[in-house]
Amino acid sequence: MLAALAKNRCQVSLARLNQALRIAAAPLAILLAGCVTLKIDELRQAETDIAASEAVVVLSRRDGIGLQAGETFIDCVSDTLATGNAPLRVVPERIFVDRLFPWFEPGTAPSKIEAMAQLLRRRNVAEKITDSGVRYLVWIDGTTQSVGGGGGGLACAIGPGGGGCIGLLSWENRSSYEASIWDMKHAQSAGLISAEASGSSYLPAFIIPIPLIARTQAAACNGLARQLQEFLTED
């Protein structure tokens, strides 16, 4: 009886602790994240409509070392497009590129819509794209980088009695991405969307360093994907 009561009390206190942690986690996450400014631009070149059976593929421009959007960013945009109020069917990049080997390799992928139209004249390539259900191809170009040299200073020391750091470091992050949307059905460019997110990150330290990171890449991904969703589903 006592054991059961103790177990019950323990469960109640664990539940309270869990609730308290959840309440505390939200402002803590906001506090630990630096501020981010996001700017989205859109240029529409053609009308868009996408049927439920049609899909989108998000591809990274890979024609230069260090210039391409990373795998993480492409996955992030693809995942975000597949969720939300107007989720789209998304074909994973790797599957699409493998199915169309060798036409979407870094050295062979069409860089202009005219070259894509030419590629679509190959019967077997057109058939593969039709079979995959891909109506819109989204090329992502861009990168995230730290700009400026950063500022501040940080000193750390360790001794027999313990260790710690003191100081403040700060730096600027900038994520700049552009999405070109190609309509596979009409072999034409549908438009361009660009996302630019910037923010300052800080690392204050008083014994323990506490990173306050500006998550510019996540902001750019989310902003770009939501705008793409709106762009493709707009009547």
Partner 1 sequence: MGKLSVISRFLPVLGLLAFTSSGCNTVVHISKRFPSPVVEPLPVDIGVYYDEDFRSYQYRSKGEKWVVPIGPASVALFNRVFTAMFERAVPVENQPSSPGRLPGFDALIQPEIKGYEFLLPAASGSDFYQVSIEYRMNLYASNGEVIDRWSITGWGWSRSKFWRAGEALAEATTVAMRDAAAAMIINFTRRRRIKDWLSQVNGRELSDNAGSSREEPLPG
Between 137 and 232, CB nearer to partner 1: 137
C-alpha 135/C-alpha 57 separation (Å) is 8
CB of 65 to partner 1, least distance (A): 5
C-alpha 140/C-alpha 74 separation (Å) is 8
Residue pair 212/33 in contact by the 8 Å Cβ criterion: yes
C-alpha 78/C-alpha 94 separation (Å) is 12
| Residue 42: its H or E element | strand 36-44
Between 44 and 94, CB nearer to partner 1: 94
Positions in the binding site for partner 1 (CB under 8 A): 65-66, 70-71, 98-103, 105-112, 115-116, 118-119, 121-125, 128
Q: Which residue has the tokens 């997110």?
A: 197
CB of 115 to partner 1, least distance (A): 4
CB of 33 to partner 1, least distance (A): 22
CB of 9 to partner 1, least distance (A): 42
Between 133 and 167, CB nearer to partner 1: 133
C-alpha 153/C-alpha 165 separation (Å) is 10
Between 50 and 116, CB nearer to partner 1: 116
Best CA proximity match to 195, nearest among 230, 214, 229, 219? 219
C-alpha 54/C-alpha 13 separation (Å) is 50
Between 116 and 228, CB nearer to partner 1: 116
Between 22 and 121, CB nearer to partner 1: 121
CB of 183 to partner 1, least distance (A): 17
CB of 60 to partner 1, least distance (A): 11
Reading phi first (left if > 0) and then psi (alpha if -120 to 50, else beta), residue 87 is in beta
